[in-house]
Amino acid sequence: MNNKRCPAGWAVLIAAMVISSCGTQQTGELIGVPNRPKWKGIQPYGMVYVPSGVTQIGQSDEDIFHLRINRPKTISIQGFFMDDTEITNNEYRQFVYWVRDSIAHTILGDFIEDEDGNTYIDWDVEIDWEDELLDEMYYQGDMALPGKRELNVELFEYEYTWIDWQKAARDKNARRTELVKREKVNIYPDTLVWIRDFVYSYNEPLTRNYFSHPAYDDYPVVGVNWKQAKAFCHWRTQLWNKYKDDPFNTEDFRLPTEFEWEYAARGGHLSAPYPWGGYYLRNKKGCLLANFKPGRGNYPEDGGLQTVKADAYFPNDYGLYNMAGNVAEWTESAYFDNAFNYIHDLNPNIKYDAANDDPEVYKRKVIRGGSWKDIGYYLQTGTRHWEYQDSAKSYIGFRCVLTFMGRSIHDF
């Protein structure tokens, strides 16, 4: 008899253990898991909050070229944080120096090991740049200039991994190894763009100085292609996660979609063609409101011969600087002429990660905002243009966004 009662006794005991393990303060009511951590939200330095909302994308003024590639469409966008300025030379230099220093620490063997046997770079060790072991990081022999010790920037490569969520959604049977992608990118800006972009023009001083001289620290970084901008976003995410130690920020810094960019550029003005809400490139005093190519080529008239500081001119009503002019900006989106005809109206985007052997047409990425060398038409918030993802230009930069977790920043 006792043997027959044992299974039932064990069942009661197991059920009691299961119930008690669900929480320390069970009341019989459905109250959710207790003692969940509170999410206080974040506010990354140098970023502004762009709230969720609705806008009408597309050409706000006459389509002077009759391209019909940006027909009006009403869309809704989830809130996000966006850099208030384009990424500057000095901000991008922080990325370059991190890669440079990581190479040096690796050569010198500056590692620490945790209790699980994992090794990490010991960033507290000061690098002795005169150490002979680091000679391999410098130009040698015929590549070196007399009297100069210059780092070989061709070695500055950043390797990272990312998950192809689009493929995961399309193929539910895909193995994880098929979804994890690896990229290795040389991240040093192409400083020769100042010469390459302008034939029969003397721009060698900008090639020598624009990225390296402190006079240009607060100017937007240029000579960065789409993949380099993506690598920067990944590095910035890792930097944030390491020092903020916030397990609940699951989103990454990234490039904006072209529709997020247009929504943010409009600054809450639904149909005005420019970020400041007006219909003209000058204010009532006749002053130009952005950095572009006025008239027939009076470049200095707006205050800058080429680029200007990233926070020049007045910001739009979201607090974003130079959403028109200065440098055009990379977006996450792939460029297709007829994209507006079939995008969804909720957080629209068209994403395509082109392989190296794909046709060139698949490597087109949307750029927005116009630049210091463009006429006023390209400064309009609804104007679309594109460039190949592996191209670097003296008039293209970028800024980052971070998806906002929640309904409204006022909830926190």
Per-residue model confidence as pLDDT tens digits over 359-371: 999 999 999 999 9
* Model pLDDT for residues 320-347, shown as the tens digit of each residue: 999 999 999 999 999 999 888 889 999 9
Structure confidence at residue 410 (pLDDT): 63
The full 3-state SS of 341-400, as one line of letters, equals HCCCCECCCCCCCCCCCCCHHHHEEEEECCCCCCCHHHHCCCCCEEEECCCCCCCEECCC
* Model pLDDT for residues 58-108, shown as the tens digit of each residue: 887 777 777 777 788 899 999 999 999 999 999 999 999 999 999 999 999
Mean pLDDT, the chain, rounded, equals 90
Return the residue matching tokens 């070695």: 155
Return the residue matching tokens 């193929």: 171
* In the predicted structure, residue 30 carries a pLDDT above the cut 50: yes
Q: Beta strands 396-397 and 328-334: pairing type? A: parallel
CATH code linked to domain 47-88+224-411: 3.90.1580.10
27 pLDDT band, cuts 50/70/90, is: confident
* In the predicted structure, residue 237 carries a pLDDT above the cut 80: yes
CA distance 166 to 163: 9
Residue type, 317: D
More confident residue, 406 or 57: 57
- Every domain of the chain and the residues it spans: 47-88+224-411
Q: Put residue 252 in one of left, alpha, beta given phi > 0 → left and psi -120 to 50 → alpha.
A: beta
Q: What percent of the chain has pLDDT over 90?
A: 71
Q: Do 319 and 84 contact (CB within 8 A), yes or no?
A: yes
pTM (whole model) above 0.85: yes
* In the predicted structure, residue 7 carries a pLDDT above the cut 60: no
What are the CA-CA distances from residue 35 to residues 23, 24, 244 (Å)?
A: 9, 10, 22
Residue type, 112: I
Structure tokens at 122: 């010991």
Structure confidence at residue 113 (pLDDT): 87
Which region among 11-15, 171-175, 292-296, 303-307 has the lowest average model confidence (pLDDT)? 11-15
Q: Exposure string (b/e) for 175-194, b if CB count within 10 Å is 16 or more?
A: eeeeeeeeeebbbbbbbebb
Q: For residue 53, list its beta bridge partners.
A: 77
Q: For residue 184, list its beta bridge partners.
A: 159
CA distance 339 to 58: 11
CA atoms within 13 Å, Cβ hemisphere of 40: 3
* In the predicted structure, residue 236 carries a pLDDT above the cut 90: yes
Look at residues 389, 280, 277 and name the one whose alpha carbon lies nearest to residue 330.
Answer: 389
Return the residue matching tokens 């009662």: 5
Structure confidence at residue 23 (pLDDT): 47
Structure confidence at residue 409 (pLDDT): 66
Q: Do 172 and 160 contact (CB within 8 A), yes or no?
A: no
Residue type, 261: W
Structure confidence at residue 16 (pLDDT): 47
Which region among 8-17, 58-67, 191-200, 297-306 has the lowest average model confidence (pLDDT)? 8-17
278 pLDDT band, cuts 50/70/90, is: confident
Q: Beta strands 364-368 and 401-403: pairing type? A: unpaired
**Would you tell me how many other CB atoms lie within 10 Å of the CB of residue 310?**
25
* In the predicted structure, residue 42 carries a pLDDT above the cut 90: no
